[in-house]
């Protein structure tokens, strides 16, 4: 009995050194890990050169580019940007234009929202307030925008000087937006002309004018007459030397100076 107890005591005395086994295993594993790292870091320079040459050959561009010493400039047309091809403008008489407008706007003419007047070689297209604006306003209403879209299809294919004249009735106006009838008439003509330009009517053909209440076409003493006077007139004149284009106008003023 006494001998057995002694053996148990000896086993308990050696148990406190078992951590050395775990420590030794850890050191061995770390040593193996560093050996693997070291072996992986050794690159075969000859093999690396072979792989690098093979990849460079495979991905090499066929044409000269910036990375291969080229200038990177694309070949272009040496004559510059080609001129746009525009449909030719066929000369048309003022009577032909008046006939086309009358056919296309027959409904507007019948209810007196659009009035045509042909005198000699001049065509007047009167767009009334009922078609274009509200009283005292210059913003074009939806019905007027539709009418101007259709009218632009005719005016953009003719070589005529186009006067866009704004008019008001005789009632004076003074608001925050329009200080006088002159301001309102010019705003109306400008809005109509700009709509035509945006729809493709050549800008160099258009002249904008405002007359206030100075050129009535009806009696300003009645509501009906005032309504007719609140309008925008579009006048078509054959081109002449009195309305030179931009180039001729510059040359004329250079000669004066």
pLDDT at 251: 63
Indicate the length of the chain as a whole number. 257
Alpha-carbon span 34 to 27, nearest angstrom: 11
pLDDT at 194: 95
**CA torsion through residues 198, 181, 142, 106, sign:** negative
Domain boundaries, the chain: 95-247
DSSP 68: G
CATH superfamily of 95-247: OmpA-like domain (3.30.1330.60)
Whether the CB-CB separation of 154 and 100 falls below 8 Å is answered with yes
pLDDT at 41: 67
Alpha-carbon span 102 to 14, nearest angstrom: 121
- pLDDT, averaged per 10 consecutive residues of the chain (257 residues), comes to 50 62 82 75 67 67 53 53 53 88 92 90 92 89 93 91 94 90 94 95 93 92 90 88 55 60
């Amino acid at each position: 009995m006494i001998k057995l107890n002694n053996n148990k005591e000896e086993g308990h005395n050696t148990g406190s050194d078992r951590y050395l086994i775990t420590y030794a295993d850890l050191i061995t594993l770390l040593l193996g890990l560093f050996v693997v790292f070291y072996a992986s870091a050794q690159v075969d320079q000859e093999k690396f050169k072979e792989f690098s040459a093979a990849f460079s050959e495979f991905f090499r561009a066929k044409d000269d580019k910036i990375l291969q010493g080229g200038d990177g400039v694309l070949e272009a047309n040496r004559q510059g940007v080609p001129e746009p091809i525009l449909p030719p403008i066929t000369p048309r008489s003022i009577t032909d234009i008046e006939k086309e407008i009358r056919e296309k706007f027959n409904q507007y003419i019948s209810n007196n929202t659009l009035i045509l007047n042909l005198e000699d070689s001049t065509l007047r297209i009167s767009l009334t307030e009922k078609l274009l604006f509200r009283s005292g306003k210059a913003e074009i209403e939806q019905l007027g925008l539709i009418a101007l879209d259709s009218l632009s299809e005719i005016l953009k294919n003719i070589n005529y000087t186009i006067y866009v004249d704004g008019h008001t009735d005789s009632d004076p106006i003074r608001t925050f937006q329009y200080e006088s009838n002159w301001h309102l008439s010019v705003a109306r003509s400008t809005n109509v002309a700009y709509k035509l330009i945006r729809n493709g009517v050549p800008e160099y053909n258009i002249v904008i004018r405002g007359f206030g209440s100075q050129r009535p076409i009806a009696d300003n003493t009645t509501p009906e007459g005032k309504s007719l006077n609140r309008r925008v007139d579009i006048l078509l004149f054959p081109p002449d030397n009195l309305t030179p284009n931009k180039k001729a106008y510059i040359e004329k003023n250079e000669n004066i100076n």
